[in-house]
Structure 1
Amino acid sequence: MAGVPVKCGTIVSFCFVLYAVYYRKNDLGDVRLSPVKDHLLYLENENKVGEGKLQPKVALGYGACHDLFVNATSLLDHKELKGNPEHFNEISNKEEFLKSFAYFFKHGAAAERFVSNGKLYDELIEQALKLPDSRWSIGGNAPLMAKRFYIEGWKVLFAAKMSNKLKKYIPKDIQIVGGEENEEVRDDVHMILEYKTDETFGTLKAPRANRYIVHNDENNPLLSSLEKFDEHLPGFGPNLLVISGLQMMDNYPFKVGDGKDLRAERLDLVKKQILSQPLSTLTHFEMASYVDLELLKHLTTKILPFVDSVGMNEQELTNLYSVLEYGEVSVVADSNPE
């Protein structure tokens, strides 16, 4: 009879496990998130824009682009992939492009890479435009956040060198600075290769939906709107300064002459811009995907110590932790982190 309690205990334990799994899957998420949601709603209600209060002001930099959205597996042919998926810091030919895409696709991880081969990039754009489901939109964290702040009732100053065609995506009441009057601007184009959960690319299957971004930028890596932005900030007097778009500097071939590091110099100007704001102005830095260790180290000394908040997804947080703790870049993180 000694075995009966053991068997009963095992059955009871098994039932508890099943209950725990069911509870975790169906209810625990709501239990954990409910207080967070409730407090966010409380903060929103306590800090409504307008209603007798002064209109808050936000200044956002730097840059904007045309985003071309395309289904990744419609554009790319898995039969052209020769060899195993592989990570590259920048893309110089079609083989590297396919291997790099496949590398992040199999992990279901987001990535953004610079294509140094302009001819290849133009060919990819031309192919993408032939697909029936490709579509255009304005791109860049700064303009998308600018539009959201405007909808929420803020007065917005936005820094970017943009063509008149691209400016049409921005509400007229948003003040845009960064280019000269009547200056002809060639907008940078980013291609957003999207894929869904469980979508396949040859023998590879994506564990989650995500996107792989490529660009061949000319304006954004140099933060070409920075100086004009600097001229307008004192008169605008923002309550919040948002810094974004620095990932465009990642693996960009900056020309270094006379022993000078142009990228470091541009980041020093960003730091100076942040520190020149009154103490009452809060500063937010929007992170992104980085693979250049030197650039990340610059960010940890020139930008991060001087901002009030940082926006990151789970992969970017893992990467920043890896750099700070181990001095190494974490190229890809768990697609379903805890």
Structure 2
Amino acid sequence: MSVAKVLSTALSVVVLIVAFWYSRDNGNRILEERLRQVLDAMLEVEEQHVVGEVRIAVGYGACKDIFVRGADVFGAMAPPKKTAHYNSIESLKNLKELYALFYAAGSAAERYVGNDTLFNELVGAAEAVPSSYSALGGNAPVMASRFAIEGARVLLAAKRSPYVLKHIHPGVEVGGGQGDLEDDIHLIFEYKTGEKWGKYEAPRANRFIIHSDNDNPTVSSLEEFGMELASFKPNLLVVGGLQMMDNFPFPPGVRKERLKAVRDQMTLMPTTTRIHFEMASFTETELLKDLSQYIIPYADSLGMNEQELPNLYSILKYGNVSFISDFNPRVAVVLDQMREVFRLLDKLPETAGHRQVTRLHLHTLAFQAIMIQKDSPWKNNLAAATKAALTANRHVCGNSEISIENAKMLMDDGFTLSEAAGAGRIMFDSQHPVSCWNEDGGKIEICIAPVLVCTAVRHTASGGDNISAAGLVLQV
């Protein structure tokens, strides 16, 4: 080959490389500009809405959460040969097979450990990891703190233990009686997108929670909390933490009686006080059926994630539970499920104190969806969806300032409104990124807000509680 041909070939290669890098850099600039437009538009909406004089009561319970990277505990263990589902954990084999199941699916889960020795050994292993840390946990304290951060006045149903009083937000009043010196511990294993454990790989960042809690499942703060509700006069009562009852070894009939006690507290609220039920990781079919009978019919609003919505849909429609679901569902799929849940809830038999669910909030990795009845008191739907989406990034990144360098969007350029044939489609507009529209002759309003997904994950646990609270506080 002549020198001229060699030089010509080399020049062609250089041109291709330069063109490739220019194209990639140009593409990155376009993506960054799009993210910047989306963020600026959403921040503008958020700045226009502030929390007024709102009183919110939040139940039930509190615990000490210990956070640790799953790899720092499970990494020293041989991964299981297969995955398996268990309602509760009695052995290390149960734990590894169950952890691998949800880890590989990228789904959050929470389970009760009936083996105290195993649980204490796991706590010791977690605390021995230098990067592990603890924080006040439980649905109720997390939501209460978020409400207080946003400016609401808050009453929390939790025992007044030293740890709770030390770590709760100063704007939260704790009203659940005196607690023990030792707090119940919940162990949270977190993992990031792409992490591997043997042949198992996590498709998204998430967490796996275990506990051996013998106090919170009984809703022990309920009665003393109730004594303070009348004078507090909340605009909103939030019911949460009931997943602690899942597969807990209650004596026969006790769990149902405690659920009835929660129901009775809900029915004592005046109609001017709205009630929100925050769902969580429920796996026991019988518990979900009881919730559908004793709790959900007495709530105005429900909050859930992409796994909890299919569970509720399945229990209402088919009477069973779906353990694993799509970690990144399409908008059309969840909208159809939300519409059907609205329809099925409307058919529940009316009893004394019965309320009609007029608000559903679904929080997913990629987007927030809030569906309300237009003639209900819920307001600021667009702002609420926007606030929830922004809070998702802030919580996971652990930073109040959202950085587009640590963010990405998973939503496509548009989404269909339903899986039904002929359904309309909404195209994404980066300058007006939150889409709202009316359905059912103007009776229903739906808003979809894209999440600027955090790519520098600090923590995933408690994300749903922060997101739900941030959306709720603007709608009361």
Smaller-chain TM-score range? 0.7 to 0.9
User: What is the CA-CA distance between 1:187 and the residue it aligns to?
Assistant: 0.9
Query: 1:276 pairs with 261, 268, 278, which one?
Result: 268
Match of 2:147 in 1: 149
Once residues 79 and 155 of structure 1 are traced to their aligned partners in structure 2, the CA distance between those partners, rounded to angstroms, is 46
User: What is the CA-CA distance between 1:254 and the residue it aligns to?
Assistant: 0.2
Structure 2 unaligned runs (5+)? 1-26, 331-476
Q: Contact (CA 8 Å) 1:81, 1:95: kept in 2 or not?
A: no
Match of 2:357 in 1: none
Query: Aligned pair 1:288/2:283, yes or no?
Result: no
Match of 1:83 in 2: 81
Match of 2:245 in 1: 249
Match of 1:49 in 2: 51
Match of 1:314 in 2: 306
Q: Contact (CA 8 Å) 2:112, 2:211: kept in 1 or not?
A: yes
Per-residue CA deviation, residues 123-171 of structure 1 (Å, 9 max, x unaligned), is 0000111111111111111111111111222111111124212321113
Once residues 272 and 48 of structure 2 are traced to their aligned partners in structure 1, the CA distance between those partners, rounded to angstroms, is 22
Query: 1:230 pairs with 194, 202, 226, which one?
Result: 226
User: What is the CA-CA distance between 1:79 and the residue it aligns to?
Assistant: 4.9
Q: Which residues of 2 match residues 34-183 of structure 1 at below 5 A?
A: 37=42, 41=45, 45=48, 48-50=50-52, 55-77=53-75, 79-180=77-178
User: What is the CA-CA distance between 1:78 and the residue it aligns to?
Assistant: 6.6
User: What is the CA-CA distance between 1:218 and the residue it aligns to?
Assistant: 1.4
Per-residue CA deviation, residues 250-275 of structure 1 (Å, 9 max, x unaligned), is 0000012xxxx111111111111111
Query: 1:327 pairs with 319, 337, 342, which one?
Result: 319
User: What is the CA-CA distance between 1:316 and the residue it aligns to?
Assistant: 0.5
Query: 1:196 pairs with 167, 192, 195, which one?
Result: 192
Once residues 184 and 158 of structure 2 are traced to their aligned partners in structure 1, the CA distance between those partners, rounded to angstroms, is 11
Secondary structure of the structure 2 residue equivalent to 1:252: coil
Structure 1 unaligned runs (5+)? 1-21
Match of 1:220 in 2: 216
% same residue: 46
Match of 1:3 in 2: none
Match of 1:19 in 2: none
Secondary structure of the structure 2 residue equivalent to 1:150: helix
Q: Contact (CA 8 Å) 1:161, 1:219: kept in 2 or not?
A: no
Q: Contact (CA 8 Å) 1:113, 1:215: kept in 2 or not?
A: yes
Q: Contact (CA 8 Å) 2:64, 2:137: kept in 1 or not?
A: yes
Match of 2:453 in 1: none
Once residues 284 and 307 of structure 1 are traced to their aligned partners in structure 2, the CA distance between those partners, rounded to angstroms, is 6
| Paired positions, count | 301
User: What is the CA-CA distance between 1:184 and the residue it aligns to?
Assistant: 3.2
User: What is the CA-CA distance between 1:68 and the residue it aligns to?
Assistant: 0.5
Secondary structure of the structure 1 residue equivalent to 2:316: helix
Q: 1:301 to 1:37 in 2, by over 3 A?
A: farther
Once residues 145 and 300 of structure 2 are traced to their aligned partners in structure 1, the CA distance between those partners, rounded to angstroms, is 22
User: What is the CA-CA distance between 1:174 and the residue it aligns to?
Assistant: 1.9
Once residues 124 and 160 of structure 2 are traced to their aligned partners in structure 1, the CA distance between those partners, rounded to angstroms, is 22
Query: Aligned pair 1:211/2:207, yes or no?
Result: yes
Match of 1:304 in 2: 296
User: What is the CA-CA distance between 1:173 and the residue it aligns to?
Assistant: 3.9
Match of 1:336 in 2: 328
Q: Contact (CA 8 Å) 2:79, 2:197: kept in 1 or not?
A: no
Letter in 1 for 2:78: E
Once residues 251 and 162 of structure 1 are traced to their aligned partners in structure 2, the CA distance between those partners, rounded to angstroms, is 26
Q: 1:185 to 1:224 in 2, by over 3 A?
A: farther
Match of 2:255 in 1: 263
Q: Contact (CA 8 Å) 2:193, 2:204: kept in 1 or not?
A: yes
Letter in 1 for 2:314: S
Once residues 173 and 209 of structure 1 are traced to their aligned partners in structure 2, the CA distance between those partners, rounded to angstroms, is 31
Q: Contact (CA 8 Å) 1:79, 1:202: kept in 2 or not?
A: no
Once residues 167 and 318 of structure 1 are traced to their aligned partners in structure 2, the CA distance between those partners, rounded to angstroms, is 36
Once residues 147 and 300 of structure 1 are traced to their aligned partners in structure 2, the CA distance between those partners, rounded to angstroms, is 28
Letter in 1 for 2:317: E
Once residues 309 and 221 of structure 2 are traced to their aligned partners in structure 1, the CA distance between those partners, rounded to angstroms, is 28
Once residues 206 and 171 of structure 1 are traced to their aligned partners in structure 2, the CA distance between those partners, rounded to angstroms, is 33
| Greater relative contact order, per chain length (Cα 8 Å cut-off, separation 6+) | 1
Secondary structure of the structure 2 residue equivalent to 1:136: strand
Per-residue CA deviation, residues 171-221 of structure 1 (Å, 9 max, x unaligned), is 3342111123xx534211111100011100101111111100000001110
Q: Contact (CA 8 Å) 2:240, 2:279: kept in 1 or not?
A: yes
Q: Contact (CA 8 Å) 2:80, 2:100: kept in 1 or not?
A: no
Once residues 81 and 218 of structure 1 are traced to their aligned partners in structure 2, the CA distance between those partners, rounded to angstroms, is 29
State the TM-score, normalized to the length of structure 1. 0.83
Q: Contact (CA 8 Å) 1:64, 1:162: kept in 2 or not?
A: no
State the TM-score, normalized to the length of structure 2. 0.60
Once residues 184 and 69 of structure 1 are traced to their aligned partners in structure 2, the CA distance between those partners, rounded to angstroms, is 22
- Which range moved further: 167-176 or 230-239? 167-176
Q: Contact (CA 8 Å) 1:78, 1:202: kept in 2 or not?
A: no
